[in-house]
Amino acid sequence: MTREEAKKRIEELRELINYHNYRYYVLNDPVISDAEYDELFRELVELEKRFPEFITPDSPTQRVGAPIKEGFKPVTHSIPMLSLQDARNEAEIREFDSRTKKFLGLSTREKIEYIVEPKFDGLSCEIVYRNGVIEVASTRGDGIVGEDVTPNVKTIKSVPLRLLKREDLKIPDLIEVRGEVLMSKVDFEKLNRELIAKGEKAFANPRNAASGSLRQLDPSITAKRNLDFIAWGIGLTEGTVVKKQSEILELLDKLGFKTSKPRIVTNNIEEVIEFYREMEKKRDTFIYELDGIVIKVNDLDLWEKLGTTARSPRYMIAAKFTPRQRTTKIVDVVYQVGRTGTITPVAILEPVEIGGVTVSRATLHNFDEVERLGVRIGDKVLVQRAGDVIPEIVTVIKDERTGNEKPIEPPKECPVCGASVVREGAYYKCVNASCPAKLVQAIRHLASRNALDIEGIGERTAALLVEKGLVKSLADILYLQFYDLLKLPGFAEKSVINLLKQIEKSKTVPLDRFIFSLGIPNVGEHTAKILAKQFKTLDNFLNITYEKLLTIKGIGPETAKSIIQFLKEPRNREMIERMIKAGVSPKPIEEPKSVDSPIKGKIFVFTGTLDSMTREEAKKIVESLGGKVSNSVSRNTDYLVVGKDPGSKLQRALSFGIKTLNEQEFLELIGYKK
Ligand code: IVH
């Protein structure tokens, strides 16, 4: 290959790689396989190795550069990066509309066109492109001067190193692209787990994590953090004309950026408010933290007329959602004992209302977490409640300590049975095998929907059964008598009859659910299914050996060991024997029937509620047709079935380009008729 040929091929490869990078990271819609992409990349690396004189800083091979030696250099923004005024509710959104009209001399009847975008919570950043090539990227800083973080921003895969070439568009001579650097909620949690495992300090929220990851002197660290960039505006431009904010975002879309979506354009403030409500309802379904929406006057001529105050423009406002974090005080710490004896510290709080719910307890998870937070009784803390997640403590406000705070002592004994405790990793555990707290949780598990499904035994009833001495071992559940139950507070004749019916029904559940109900450590629903398929009958299962278990696909040594340990324990054997005596006779698991069903081998995930059936029913149908159902979306998922009020799985599936089905499409696919 001559130098000329090499130069040409290098250019071609860069163009191709940039394009496929864009398809993958910006559109989430790749058109070649990972292997094909890797091949192009390798070819470019090879050629650049042979002809290093052709390496340029915007080559896709140069995303991760050398460490920054002398700290971040200051960068003065050509146009200051202002901040936004806040609206905290619907009334303040309407006020913004009237205020803007008044300023422009419009009557209340006249309309202004608005564009409304989500407000993702990250850190703002400006990236300058000259003649289509990335030149410098900086943080907002104080709005006038930011920090040069170019090598780090270049590691973000959704940031183009070169603007996308298109037939229908001239690349601007200069464009300063502004947007948000973000870390997803999932990546934030993963990063924190890793940091804690290494004994390092965790981040309080995804925004801080994004900021900390971007402001690293070694870009190879930033590269590992999986940051994203979503563009929402521009600074200075040369060689391009735009008249509206909507055109700015369309231009940025075309140049190869992710832009803030979903967005609406409307001249009706009530529609703006409708969008605000809808996005607040859906905020948990986004992979990024969303703290509000941004309402912008669409026409850029009006921006000129409206101008700015000292700190913020008059033509935009951030409408914030109800905050999910509040400060309060820890008044005490209590301990909860789980099914396996794990003791969880729980903070008792001075009650505060967060997002419409009164919060008076927050989990402290375990003692590593207590140490990480450095939390004490009496501390003022920031508490967070998101969706249906258990409230947790984000940070301790140490500046407000009075000196009277008391350290949180680890439990010296089990708070329920008084037996001694041992520390296992981050957790303290009760050593007493027959601790009533463990039994209560074990009953709850046994009776739960995906186990024996005994409706009517929740936490309260389970606690009553143990407290009144009616249940001393799980098997006792199957021997409960009418008159014993009738004595329980809150139980009338009818409810007792119902409960006994439920118990009778539970004796013939499929084998996998029976195995799952036993609460064997490391045996979840999935493993229970593997075991039931393999062994077919309870008798076979009870006579397994460690060696045989190891030959089963999907069962590792750890799980095998815990199954054998469980079955060897005389107390457990006796419990199962008594269950069988009471009439327990699990059914063999149903094997998928149809051989050429269209969904054979396909992996389904469900989100939201279905009208025509429960999740459990849908799962059974899919499995009977040879498909699989998984709880979480991964790249291997074939279909996401989207019901009413979908959760965050939808966003994740969309980001992987996974096919989604609405309920009707799903029913058609499985050939379901009412
Ligand atoms: S426009 C004058 N649009 O929110 C600043 N900002 O609280 C113009 N943000 O500094 C900002 N999403 O970092 C705009 N769609 C969006 C945004 C957005 C997030 C951030 C941005 C800004 C901060 C203001």
Tens-digit pLDDT profile for residues 595-611: 677 888 899 999 988 88
Among 410, 429, 448, residue at a domain's last position: 429
pLDDT at 590: 73
- Closest Cα to residue 297, out of 33, 100, 462, 484? 100
pLDDT at 595: 60
Residue 388, pLDDT above cutoff 80: no
Closest ligand 1 atom number to CA of residue 318: 7
Rounded Cα distance, 628 and 601, in Å? 7
| Tokens coding 482 | 């009418």
Q: What is the CATH number of the domain that holds 549?
A: 1.10.150.20
Rounded Cα distance, 252 and 171, in Å? 11
Catalytic residues: 119
Q: Is residue 73 part of a domain?
A: no
| Tokens coding 124 | 């703002």
| Tokens coding 210 | 């994004």
Q: Cα(122) to centroid of ligand 1, in Å?
A: 9
Closest ligand 1 atom number to CA of residue 123: 13
> Within this chain, do residues 136 and 233 fall inside the same structural domain, yes or no?
yes
Q: What is the pLDDT confidence band of residue 673, given thresholds at 50, 70 and 90?
A: low
> Within this chain, do residues 314 and 336 fall inside the same structural domain, yes or no?
no
Q: Is residue 263 part of a domain?
A: yes
Q: Cα(157) to centroid of ligand 1, in Å?
A: 21
Residues 127, 134 contacting (CB under 8 angstroms) = yes
Substitution candidate for ligand 1 out of 82, 84, 88, 115 with most atoms within 8 A of CB: 84
pLDDT tens sequence across 475-518: 999 999 999 999 999 899 999 999 999 999 999 999 999 999 99
Q: Cα(302) to centroid of ligand 1, in Å?
A: 19
pLDDT tens sequence across 174-196: 999 999 999 999 899 899 889 88
* pLDDT average, residue stretch 227-247: 97
Substitution candidate for ligand 1 out of 294, 295, 316 with most atoms within 8 A of CB: 294
| Tokens coding 119 | 């407000």
Residue closest by Cα to atom 21 of ligand 1: 124
pLDDT at 583: 94
Residue closest by Cα to atom 3 of ligand 1: 232
DSSP E strand stretches across 212-324:
228-238, 258-259, 264-266, 290-297, 316-320
Q: Cα(311) to centroid of ligand 1, in Å?
A: 13
Q: Cα(253) to centroid of ligand 1, in Å?
A: 17
Closest ligand 1 atom number to CA of residue 122: 13
Closest ligand 1 atom number to CA of residue 313: 2
> Within this chain, do residues 660 and 620 fall inside the same structural domain, yes or no?
yes
Q: Is residue 141 part of a domain?
A: yes
Q: Is residue 19 part of a domain?
A: yes
Q: What is the pLDDT confidence band of residue 616, given thresholds at 50, 70 and 90?
A: confident
Give the residue carrying structure tokens 């101008």: 307
* Side-chain-facing half-sphere of 292: CA atoms under 13 Å: 18
Using alpha carbons, list the distances in angstroms from residue 449 to 143, 455, 517, 615: 54, 8, 10, 11
> Within this chain, do residues 399 and 421 fall inside the same structural domain, yes or no?
yes
Q: Cα(312) to centroid of ligand 1, in Å?
A: 11
Q: Cα(341) to centroid of ligand 1, in Å?
A: 47
Residues 152, 214 contacting (CB under 8 angstroms) = yes
Rounded Cα distance, 437 and 530, in Å? 30
Q: Cα(178) to centroid of ligand 1, in Å?
A: 9
pLDDT at 89: 92
pLDDT at 498: 94
pLDDT at 28: 84
Residue with the bigger pLDDT between 205 and 4: it is 4
Cβ-based neighbours of 270, under 8 Å, separated by 6 or more: none
Q: Is residue 496 part of a domain?
A: no
Q: Cα(318) to centroid of ligand 1, in Å?
A: 8
pLDDT at 648: 80
Cβ-based neighbours of 573, under 8 Å, separated by 6 or more: 567
Mark residue 42 as left, alpha or beta (left: phi above 0; alpha: psi -120 to 50; beta: remaining): alpha
Residue closest by Cα to atom 17 of ligand 1: 119
Among 568, 591, 614, residue at a domain's last position: 591
Rounded Cα distance, 583 and 569, in Å? 22
> Within this chain, do residues 314 and 359 fall inside the same structural domain, yes or no?
no
> Within this chain, do residues 298 and 420 fall inside the same structural domain, yes or no?
no
Residues 229, 180 contacting (CB under 8 angstroms) = yes
Q: What is the CATH number of the domain that holds 407?
A: 2.40.50.140
Angle made by CA atoms 90, 91, 94, in degrees to the nearest 5: 90
Average pLDDT, rounded, for the chain: 92
Using alpha carbons, list the distances in angstroms from residue 363 to 370, 390, 409, 527, 582: 10, 7, 16, 29, 39
Residue closest by Cα to atom 9 of ligand 1: 119
Residues 134, 150 contacting (CB under 8 angstroms) = yes
Q: Are strands 603-607 and 406-407 parallel, antiparallel or unpaired?
A: unpaired
* pLDDT average, residue stretch 36-63: 95
Rounded Cα distance, 191 and 209, in Å? 8
Q: Cα(68) to centroid of ligand 1, in Å?
A: 28
Residue 301 Cα to chain centre, angstroms: 40
Single-letter residue type at 444: R
Give the residue carrying structure tokens 């930033």: 222
> Within this chain, do residues 294 and 356 fall inside the same structural domain, yes or no?
no
Give the residue carrying structure tokens 């009496």: 378
Q: Is residue 470 part of a domain?
A: no
Q: What is the CATH number of the domain that holds 27?
A: 1.10.287.610
* pLDDT average, residue stretch 468-474: 92
Residue closest by Cα to atom 7 of ligand 1: 84
> Within this chain, do residues 310 and 329 fall inside the same structural domain, yes or no?
no
* pLDDT average, residue stretch 296-302: 98
Give the total number of structural domains in the chain. 5
Closest ligand 1 atom number to CA of residue 293: 15
* pLDDT average, residue stretch 523-549: 93
Q: Cα(71) to centroid of ligand 1, in Å?
A: 26
Using alpha carbons, list the distances in angstroms from residue 667 to 112, 164, 610, 651: 44, 41, 10, 22
What torsion, rounded to 10 degrees, do the Cα atoms 167, 233, 179, 269 define?
-120
Q: Is residue 281 part of a domain?
A: yes
* Side-chain-facing half-sphere of 89: CA atoms under 13 Å: 2
Among 591, 626, 649, residue at a domain's last position: 591
* pLDDT average, residue stretch 397-420: 93
- Closest Cα to residue 129, out of 159, 96, 88, 166? 159
Q: What percent of the chain has pLDDT over 90?
A: 75
Q: What is the pLDDT confidence band of residue 198, given thresholds at 50, 70 and 90?
A: confident
Q: What percent of the chain has pLDDT over 70?
A: 99
What does 615-650 look like in DSSP terms, one character per residue? Answer: HHHHHHHHHHTT-EE-SS--TT--EEEE-BS--THH
Residues 91, 103 contacting (CB under 8 angstroms) = no
Rounded Cα distance, 335 and 415, in Å? 7
Q: What is the CATH number of the domain that holds 631?
A: 3.40.50.10190
Substitution candidate for ligand 1 out of 114, 116, 119, 252 with most atoms within 8 A of CB: 119
What does 552-602 look like in DSSP terms, one character per residue? Answer: STT--HHHHHHHHHHHH-HHHHHHHHHHHHTT--PBPPPPP--SS-TTTT-
DSSP E strand stretches across 390-548:
392-396, 406-407, 421-424, 427-430
Angle made by CA atoms 391, 396, 398, in degrees to the nearest 5: 165
> Within this chain, do residues 572 and 609 fall inside the same structural domain, yes or no?
no
Residue with the bigger pLDDT between 584 and 649: it is 584
Closest ligand 1 atom number to CA of residue 86: 7
Helix, coil or strand: residue 353: strand
Rounded Cα distance, 342 and 336, in Å? 8
Substitution candidate for ligand 1 out of 88, 177, 232 with most atoms within 8 A of CB: 232
Rounded Cα distance, 197 and 492, in Å? 51
pLDDT at 674: 57
Closest ligand 1 atom number to CA of residue 82: 2
- Closest Cα to residue 216, out of 183, 173, 244, 190? 183
pLDDT at 592: 61
Closest ligand 1 atom number to CA of residue 140: 10
DSSP state of 537: S
> Within this chain, do residues 518 and 402 fall inside the same structural domain, yes or no?
no
Q: Cα(226) to centroid of ligand 1, in Å?
A: 21
Residue 433: how many CB atoms within 10 A of its CB? 12
Substitution candidate for ligand 1 out of 77, 83, 86, 123 with most atoms within 8 A of CB: 83
Residue 159: how many CB atoms within 10 A of its CB? 26
Ligand 1 cavity residues, CB under 6 Å: 82-84, 117, 119-120, 124, 180, 232-233, 260, 294, 312-313, 316, 318
pLDDT tens sequence across 626-669: 899 998 888 889 999 998 888 888 888 887 888 899 998 898 88
Residue 594, pLDDT above cutoff 60: no
> Within this chain, do residues 296 and 343 fall inside the same structural domain, yes or no?
no
Exposed / middle / buried, residue 155 (Cβ in 10 Å: 0-12, 13-18, 19+)? buried
pLDDT tens sequence across 303-359: 999 999 988 999 999 999 988 889 999 999 999 998 889 999 999 999 998 877 899
Specify which of 76-80, 372-376, 651-655 reaches the highest per-range mean pLDDT.
Answer: 76-80
Using alpha carbons, list the distances in angstroms from residue 147 to 126, 153, 155, 205: 10, 12, 16, 22
Using omega within 30 degrees of 0 as the cis cutoff, is the peptide bond preceding 262 cis? Answer: yes
Residue closest by Cα to atom 4 of ligand 1: 119
Q: Are strands 258-259 and 145-147 parallel, antiparallel or unpaired?
A: unpaired
Phi, psi of 516 (to 5 degrees): -60, -40
| Tokens coding 532 | 């039931």
Q: Is residue 210 part of a domain?
A: yes
> Within this chain, do residues 170 and 296 fall inside the same structural domain, yes or no?
yes
Full residue range of the structural domain in which residue 643 is found = 603-670
